[in-house]
Amino acid sequence: MAITLISTVSVGAGGASSIDFNSIPGTYTDLLLEISVRSSSTTDSMGIRFNSNGSSYSMRRLIGLGSGTPFSDAPSQPTIYVGDYPGTGQTANTFGNFQVYMPNYSGSTYKSVSVDAVSENNATAAVQGLAAGLWSNTSAITSISLLRIDGASPSIAQYSTASLYGVTKGSSGGVTVA
Amino acid sequence: MSETLTKIVVDCSTGEQTIVPLTAEEIAQREADATAYAEAKAIADAEAAAKATAKASAISKLGALGLSDAEIAALTA
């Protein structure tokens, strides 16, 4: 297996209302997205959208909380949930960190997604989540947008980063399972 | 004067990154998505609240019928 950095984004002083990875090459086996993000407004939840398509997403997530009762749910939204991230009400300079794996992203079957996420906060209230999502669309994924979970514009703060990697099976002497 | 919303666009074929303002259509679509999500969430939350209320009522009625807490817990577990 080989992991290749496709591109990385570091948000500048002006912040951003979304990050779009476009023209993703279809030459890898899987995609891996590493996100570290903070809100310049209140705490929020982030979602990803494929090919600018706002429909056909489903998911199941398991959420653990520093205070309150953990829960699982299957929310219906125009994105796939990838995690909660801190904002002005949380500890300064903390971030939400998410790992998103998208196997067989260029194939002709529906696209599955797995997520693990934590939201940093030096206080009782913190969030950790696991999620499995599905985009019921047979198109190859050629673009990924980072939005708020409800499809609205997030307030992404300076120093947030997002890195997209391509994962290639068996290309570095590793074992490939057919 | 309102803040200009921008997005960072990465062209993965070239590595080029640009910061571009959201178009009016993009802003409208995002607002529409958020409204639709809020409406769907309100319906789901109301259904969950109604289910919780019905469960509490049912447990209360079971207690009134003489079932012990352990018996009710066995039924509702």
**3-class SS at B75?**
helix
Interface test with A, best of B12, B41, B47, B51 (most A CBs within 10 A): B12
- Residue contact B7–A17, C-beta within 8 A: yes
Q: Cβ of A125 under 8 Å from any chain B Cβ? A: no
CA-CA distances (angstroms) from residue A57 to A134, A144, A147, A153? 6, 14, 14, 18
Of A49 and A126, more confident: A49
Closest chain B residue to A55, measured at CA: B33
What is the pLDDT at residue B41? 83
Q: Name the average pLDDT for chain B.
A: 91
CA distance B29 to B22: 11
Can you count the helices (H) and strands (E) in chain B?
2, 2
Q: What is the mean pLDDT of residues B6-26?
A: 95
pTM of the complete model beyond 0.90: no
Q: Cβ of A14 under 8 Å from any chain B Cβ? A: yes
* pLDDT band (50, 70, 90) for residue A174: low
- State yes or no: pLDDT of A171 exceeds 80: no
Tens of pLDDT, residues A92-118: 999 999 999 999 999 999 999 999 999
- ipTM of this model? 0.89
Contact A23, A34 (CB under 8 A): no
> Tokens at residue A9, please?
């984004």
- State yes or no: pLDDT of A178 exceeds 80: no
Contact A86, A96 (CB under 8 A): yes
- Residue contact A77–B5, C-beta within 8 A: no
Q: Cβ of A141 under 8 Å from any chain B Cβ? A: no
Domain ranges of chain B: 6-76
Nearest to A75 by CA among B51, B38, B50: B38
What is the pLDDT at residue A17? 93
Tens of pLDDT, residues A67-96: 888 889 888 889 999 999 999 999 999 999
